[in-house]
Amino acid sequence: NIGPVYFQPSELLKLLLLVFLAAYLADRRRQLVEVRAYIGGLAVPHPNYLGPMLLMWGFSMVLLIWQRDLGAALLFFGTFLGMLYAATGQSSYIWGGLLLLLLGGIVGYELFDVVRIRVDAFLNPWLDASGRSFQVVQSLLAFASGGVIGQGLGQGLPTAIPVVHTDFVYAAIGEEFGMVGALGVLICFALLVNRAFAIAFRARTDFEQLLAVGIGTMLALQTLVITAGTLKLMPLTGVTLPFVSYGGSSLIVSFIMVGLLTFMAAPQAHGQRTIPSMLRSTFQTPTYNLKLARILFFGLIVVAGGLILWQIAAPPFLVTRDDNPRQVIAEQRIDRGRLLTRSGIPIAETLIGGDGLAQRHYPYPGLSSVTGYYSVRYGVDGVEATFDAILRGSIDQTAEEKVVDDLLHRPGVGRDVTLTVDLPAQVAADVAMGDQEGAVVILEIETGAVYVMSSHPTYDPNTLDEMWDSLRQDERAPLLNRATQGLFPVGDLARLIGLIGLYDSGATRPADLLTAPLEEMLAPLGPTGYAATARQLGLMQPLPGLRSQPGRLPDFNDKGTVRDLAVTPLHLVRVMAALDREGQLPTPMLALDATSEQTSSFKPGTAQIARAWLPQVDEQFIGLSGQASPEETGQQSLSWFVGLAPATASGPPVEPTSPALTESGLIFDPSEIEAVTPTPTVEAPPEKAKYAVVAVVVTDSPADNPALSIARAALKPLLEPSTE
C-alpha cells in the first residue's frame, strides 16, 4: 500500500523481466549458443552469459515466494524458459527447466501448506469437497451449471465460489455464458497470442522479436494457468486472467503489453521506422518460434477439451450433487403446491418473501405425521415426499417446457394436492392422544382413503431447521411416523391373526376361540403356518405409495411367541377393512382423487367369520381390545384396539355338529392341510361398516383400555359429522 493506492509488485516485475530478458537475449543469443564452458568434458553455457540471467530470475523467485504468489512464480519460470528457447533453439533448456520445475514443485509441496492443499485438491477434489477442495468443486459446479449456452448474464450463482472475481472469474464466465462464451474468451486470447507471434515473425530487431515472443508467451501461459486450474486440469495457482480478473495492477500491465505490441507492429507516421544498424536483426525468424507457438496453442486446445468435459459430459453427475448451492436456490424459488384436507382447508402452503424465495408454512403443525416436512436443508418426508413431483409442478412438464423454463429462469409452480384427511377427526385423535406415545389410523373401508393418521409424540415442521438436532437426539423419536413406520408387538391381537389363518386353512379349531389359551388355539398352525398367515395378510411387505415399515416376525428359535409379531397400525387397519371387503385388502390412499387397488388376501367366508367374532363395543362400533406386556415390547405395556364403525355384531358363528377331522402334530404350512373342518354358519350383518380403526398407545395402565377411548374420540366426528 502507498497511501490509498494498492499495487501488486509482481505485475510490474513481469513487465520489467520481459524487457530485461528480451534485451539480454538479443545481445547474447549468439554467445549462448556458441560459447561453451566445460565441466568434466560436459559442455554447458558459459557462466559469463548465463549467470546474470539466472541471477535476475532467482531474485524474482525469492520475491515471489516471499509474497506467497506461487502462481506468478510458475508464470515467470515458464516465460523464462519460452524466451530462452526462442533465443537459442536449445530444447535441452526446456527439459532441464521442466526438471527444475518438478523438483521445485516437490519442495513446495513439502514446505508450503498452500501448495500441498492445491495439489491435493487437484488430485482428488471430491475427497474433501466441503473443505480444502471447496473452491475447485464449486468451480466445476459452475461450469456444469452453465452447460452449452449458459445461465445468462446475472442469472448464475458464481458468488458461491469464494473470491470468484480474481482466481475464478473464468468459472463465472462459463456459468453465465456457457461453453460458447468460455470458448469465445479462449479464442480471443488465442488470437491475441497469434498476433504477438505474428509481430515477432515480422520484427526488424532481435529485441522486438524476443519481446513480442515473451509477451505472447506470458499472455498464453497466464491464460493457460488460470483456466486450466479452474477446470481441474492442473493444480490451481493464484494468477489473474488478463483483462478479465479483478485487479488494477494486472489490467494496467496487460494493456502496456498490448501497447508495446501495437507500437512494434505499427510504422511511424511518416514512413517506416528507421532502425539503427546495431539493432537490426542479424537472424532470420527462427522456426522454433513457430514450434513454441504451436505448443502454446496446443495448451489452449486442451483447455477447450476441459470445457467440453465439464460443460457437456459431466453436468448430469455434477448438477445434482447435494453440495451444489444452485439446487438450493432453485428449490427456494419453487412456488410449491398446497396440501389440502378433504374439505379444502390448507395444511401446508408456500409463502413467497420479498426476495422471491419461498418458505413452507404449516398452519396445523399437529398434522406433521401426515404432511411430513419440506426443508431445503433436510429434504422431504411424509406426504411432502410422496407427492413431491406434483407439488413441485414437474410431473406433467414436457422436456420442451423444462428447457424453456430453464432458459427464461422461470420458477417452478406446483399443483395443489387434496388429501383424504378429515381435519375434525384428526384434531380429535390428536387431542385424545395428548402427550402419550402411540398412533391412530382410520381408514374408509370402501375406498381405502385415510381419514385419520395420528402419530405421537409429534413435532412442529415450521421450526424444523432450528430444532433438527434436538429432534434427532430425542429418545421419544418425534420424527418417526408411528402409524406407518412404528412396529408394535400385536400381543393379544395374535388371536385375531391366528383365527384368520385357522379358518382360511380349514385347520382344527378349539370350541371357544375367544377364551381358549392362545398357544392351544394356534397349535394347528405352528410357527411356519402363523408366519405364512402374516405374509398372507400383507403384514410383511411395505405398502405401495407410502414410506412404510414391513412387519417383523417372532424369533421362534429364541423363545419367541406369536404375540411378538410386530406390525404397524396402518398394516393392521388394512386387515380390519378386509373383514368387510370379503377378504380384499385395500391399498391405503392419501390423495382424494386416487384409486385404491385391491389385493386378494383370504377367503370371503373367512372374512365373514372373523368379523362375526368381533364383539359389540357400543351401539356404534365393534372391535377387539388387547394388550402387549413389557416383556414383549421391551418397554412399557401397549394398549390396542381394532374395530369397525358404524357396525353391529352379527353374533359368533355356529359351528357344525358333525365331528371335525383333526391333524396330528404341527402344521407348518396351511396349504398342506388336507383334512378340512366343515365351515360354520354365520348370520349376515345388517349392513357393512364404513370405517376401520386401529389405535395403539404405550401406557402403564393397559387394563384401563386407553386405546379404546382414543379410537372412540377419533371416530366421533365421523359418526356425528360436523363442518370443518
Residues in the chain: 724
Judged by DSSP in three states, 563 sits in: helix
> Is the CB of residue 343 less than 8 Å from the CB of residue 724?
yes
Torsion of CA 50, 51, 54, 56, to 10 degrees: -120
Q: Residue 398: its pLDDT value, please?
A: 75
Q: Residue 201: its pLDDT value, please?
A: 87
Residues 6+ apart with CB under 8 A from 69: 8, 10, 238
Cα separation values, 208 from 262, 263, 290, Å: 11, 10, 16
All residue ranges of the chain with pLDDT < 50 are 269-270, 277-284, 657-676, 723-724
Chain centroid to CA 257: 47
What are the beta bridge partners of residue 374? Answer: 380
Task: Give the three cell numbers for residue 191.
Answer: 488470437
C-alpha neighbours within 13 Å on the C-beta side of residue 554:
25
Residues 6+ apart with CB under 8 A from 67: 9, 10
C-alpha neighbours within 13 Å on the C-beta side of residue 297:
16
Q: Residue 437: its pLDDT value, please?
A: 95
Domains and CATH numbers, the chain: 9-269+277-318 (no CATH), 333-419 (3.90.1310.10), 426-467+480-719 (3.40.710.10)
Q: Residue 216: its pLDDT value, please?
A: 94
Q: Residue 663: its pLDDT value, please?
A: 39
Residues 6+ apart with CB under 8 A from 715: 425, 442, 620, 621, 645, 691, 693
Task: Give the three cell numbers for residue 81.
Answer: 524458459
> Is the CB of residue 414 less than 8 Å from the CB of residue 392?
yes
Task: Check: pTM over 0.75? Answer yes or no.
Answer: no
Q: How far apart are CA 484 and CA 592, in angstroms?
A: 19
Q: Residue 63: its pLDDT value, please?
A: 57
